[in-house]
Chain A
Amino acid sequence: MTFKHRQLDNGLTIIGEIHPQAQTAAMGFFARTGSRDETPEISGVSHFLEHMLFKGTDGLNWQQVNEAFDGIGAKFNAFTGEENTVYYAAVLSEFLPEVAKLWSQLMRPSLREEDFNIEKNVILQEIAMYKDMPQFDVLDQARALHFGSHPCGNSTLGTEQTIGDLKVGQMREYFDRRYASNNLVAAACGNFDFDHFCELIASICGSWKPAVAERPLSFYEGTRQKKHIQKDTLARHHICMISPMVSMQDPRRFAASLLGMIIGDDSGSRYFWSLVDPAIAEAASMQAETMDGVGAMYSYICCEPAASGKVADIIRGIFMDLSKNGIQGNELKAAKNKVLSALTIKSEQPMGRLFGLGFNWVYSRQYRTLAEDIEAVRAVTVADINHLISEFHPGDFSCLSMGPQTQETPLF
């Protein structure tokens, strides 16, 4: 695998990782914008805008866009988070130029009002869908509770109210600021000609203008608030706990990810042995989410309502033990083996490399080979993880729970 990089005069970055043996290729545009870059009155606009890009340009309507992707057998989609909006596709290698051309065109959408009004219904349907999925709802509300006034607590979907009130003019204004050429990265992986790829991107995107697309960064410890929401319609108790952790730019992110696995992987972790194996909870997971200048550990537990008190006692015990005794060498060894084999397997397909390639550049202006990532995981020591535990106190968290019962005494 070789890495290639070029920057256009307008600031748009193009990166590529060449896999000479691959039959397929993957490419994507990474827009450094998401819900944390929104103000309250346009809450949900990043995600709504992501949908609107598929509605086409002045030269392509939505049907032509969909037909163009399907006509080359592309497996394509997009997602919006707190700080990135990513558009991607996997194709057979021969179709990479076509899909790159298509995405480049779509990055300058028409944002037609009639399309905006129809798509608004789809967004409202999506909001309704997530209301019926408490495992997502609890995470969304816990994030808001933990981050308080920090913008990482902003909802990605927005609300029925903000989406209902949103005007196409507000979206266009947001687009002009956030989809400026210097706030975009085009990335590709697979068997392809990088120079040709760059020429193609430059021919479409080269005339775009840069703009000031700032994002104030600040580390945030979290509110450590606790809240319970009673919902009669729920059958189970859903608990989300969030504590602070290092950011994506911090080299300790590899240790953070291993810590998440040691505490909350779905096999062989502390949560697994204490909660899932004895059938006290049917789901218990933890993972690190390292972000721009900030980071967090997220835990999700699902159990029967009557067991929530017992679950809370067990969790307290797990974190007390971690804080007192730290982790053990055999736990770290197993976590490393799982992470390393996942990295190897995922990297066998260009699509498995694309997000890592893009995000490394977006966050750190850095290319990391698979071998470097493997080495970084291998180098983590028990002491590194124990330092993270004493610095960030994962047992001192914000917590939001949802369930059919009232919670007279707080879980934590």
Chain B
Amino acid sequence: MILLGEPMADVESASFYFLLPAGNAFYPEGCSGAGEVILDWLLRGAGQRNSRCLIESLDELGIHRNCAVTAENLSLSASLESANLLAALDIYADILTAPLLEDDQFEPSRQLALHELAALDDDPQHKVRLLVTEQYYPRPYNRPAEGKQGDLEGLTADCCRRIIQQQFDWSQCIFSVAGKYDFSSVCSLLEKRFAHLSGTGVRRPTAGQRGQQYTHLANEGAQVHIGLMTAVPTIQDAHYYDIMGAVSILSGGMSSRLFTEVREKRGLCYTVGARYQSLKDHAAISCYTGTTPDQAQQTLEVTVEQFRRLREGFSEDELHRAKIGLKSTLIMQSESSAARAAGIAGDHYYLGRVRTLSEIRQKIETISSSSLLAFLNANPFNEFTVATIGPKPIQL
């Protein structure tokens, strides 16, 4: 288990982040959605506390908690007043290492996951992002965190217990803390609670086939929701900062290409945006927009055109704005203990080391027209995976 800490001046809060490589891709076939169920189940009693007592103890400490599951990871994180940090960590150690996992508490966890999956039908904007992600990433890294209905219906308490036993590999767990804390006290507490636990030898599954290029789901809504993804290198790549520059030119602010061309000049949509997302071995620029059915075809075409036209060039002003936008985001995040705790855990997971803020800042400075164009020429955005939800399909 790796323990990381980054102190911050002038804050009274602390945030911590536990990251386990136990995401959806690592589960047996037919268990998609198990991560969501497990995260809910873990909080239904741990150590000496039953479900109600556990939640009350967390609330009493004023903890703002979050948990998430992706294809690769499970994470549990929290922000709180620094004085309560050690008490909170002690409870989190119970949740992670001594959950009660009672049979009668499993069913409501599974039912909630089923309800949340069904509720996606009333949230097409979210659903289209899942749909395109599922087609874009190779199996099993494409499994939606929300799971599949059939899988969730067949999921059992024993199956989830096995996943916890096998996939909670403490030798691969990353813990980070940021804000105001005493690192030696944090380390002694975690040493006491986690040091005796061992690794289980979890290995990354081999990537299989990808899905189809275009998927449409019929829905009689007011808008056509469009999700697109296109391949780019991962965060470890030498061109990573060029990719960030490209995303910033495309979608960094209101003067960005997508906002200007799709919304401001043509009034085609209200929402349009692109962002970078990365797994360890696969990455993408992912884009969403929504528009009325009569304008869906044009909206898709104008959106794709912005990606492809990027390598025809950009002005120095555009590059300057992209870089200052990236730097500004970085400095603003540095004032938030929650953002830093997540940032340093993520760095260690993807890169095996933590980048300092000044290193990132300096790398952003080095993005140049020539380095960005070199990246764009090597990655011309020729292929897109597209999904739509709406009254009728569109032509690729």
Contacts and interface: CB of A to CB of B under 8 A. Distances in A.
B60 A337 contact: yes
A337 B267 contact: no
Interface stretch (A174-182, A273-281, A360-368, A383-391): A273-281
Interface in B1-38: 9-13
A379 interface: no
A273 B52 contact: yes
Interface string A98-129: 00000000000000000000111110111011
B62 A73 contact: no
Contacts of A134: 122
A282 B222 contact: no
Contact of B124 (A91, A126, A132): A132
Contact of A66 (B124, B264, B266): B264
B24 to A, nearest CB: 20
A70 B59 contact: no
Given A63-B260, A71-B324, A133-B125, A341 B81 contact: yes
Interface stretch (A16-24, A203-211, A239-247, A317-325): A16-24
Contacts of B320: 71
Contacts of A76: 254
B55 A267 contact: yes
Given A235-B122, A341-B80, A129 B115 contact: no
B122 A135 contact: yes
A135 B269 CA distance: 20
Contacts of A186: none
Most chain B C-beta atoms within 10 Å of own C-beta, residue among A21, A267, A303, A304 = A267
B255 A344 contact: no
Interface string B111-123: 1100110110111
A163 B295 CA distance: 19
Interface residues of B, number: 75
B359 interface: no
Given A128-B223, A132-B124, A67 B255 contact: yes
A264 B59 CA distance: 14
Contacts of A128: 222-223, 291-292
A263 to B, nearest CB: 14
Given A73-B324, A73-B327, A24 B222 contact: no
B240 to A, nearest CB: 20
A122 B267 contact: yes
B200 interface: no
B312 interface: no
Given A125-B291, A282-B116, A70 B325 contact: yes
A333 interface: yes
Contacts of B119: 235-236, 282-283, 302
Q: Which of B59, B80, B223, B337 has the most CB of A within 10 A?
A: B59
Contact of A22 (B84, B121, B252, B335): B335
A54 interface: yes
A409 interface: no
Nearest to B291: A125
A70 B253 CA distance: 6
A66 B259 contact: yes
A344 B79 CA distance: 11
Interface in A36-71: 54, 62-63, 65-67, 69-71
A268 B55 contact: yes
A24 B332 contact: yes
Size class of the contact patch on chain A: 35 or more
A341 B62 contact: yes
B255 A63 contact: yes
B279 to A, nearest CB: 27
B336 interface: yes
A5 interface: no
A337 to B, nearest CB: 4
Given A279-B111, A330-B56, A129 B222 contact: yes
B64 A282 contact: no
A231 B252 CA distance: 37
A345 B13 CA distance: 6
A65 B264 CA distance: 12
Given A63-B260, A66-B260, A69-B253, A238 B56 contact: no
Contact of A342 (B64, B112, B271): B64
B62 A279 contact: no
Contacts of B118: 235-236, 304
A90 B336 CA distance: 14
Contacts of B255: 63, 66-67, 69-71
Contacts of B51: 277
Given A233-B221, A267-B59, A119 B267 contact: yes
Contacts of B52: 273
A254 B210 CA distance: 53
B81 A349 contact: no
A234 interface: yes
Nearest to A120: B267
Contact of A132 (B65, B84, B222, B331): B222
A56 B377 CA distance: 36
Contacts of A376: none
A131 interface: yes
Interface string A283-325: 1000000000000000000111000000000000000000000
A345 B222 contact: no
B55 A132 contact: no
Contact of A75 (B115, B219, B329, B334): B329
B56 A268 contact: yes
A115 to B, nearest CB: 9
B146 to A, nearest CB: 11
A337 B64 CA distance: 10
Contacts of B139: none
Contact of A129 (B122, B220, B271): B271
A247 B109 CA distance: 38
A74 interface: yes
B12 A125 contact: no
Interface string B298-342: 000000000000000000010011001101110110111110000
B108 interface: yes
A121 B269 CA distance: 8
A124 B259 CA distance: 17
Contacts of B58: 267-268
A210 B349 CA distance: 57
B291 A337 contact: no
10 contacts: A23-B331, A70-B253, A71-B320, A122-B269, A129-B223, A135-B123, A235-B119, A272-B55, A337-B62, A341-B81
* Pairs of residues from A and B, 5 with the lowest C-beta to C-beta distance, nearest first: A73-B328, A341-B62, A121-B267, A235-B121, A279-B111
Given A273-B52, A344-B12, A349-B335, 11 more contacts: A63-B264, A66-B255, A70-B252, A72-B328, A124-B292, A125-B267, A131-B223, A132-B125, A135-B122, A282-B112, A345-B64
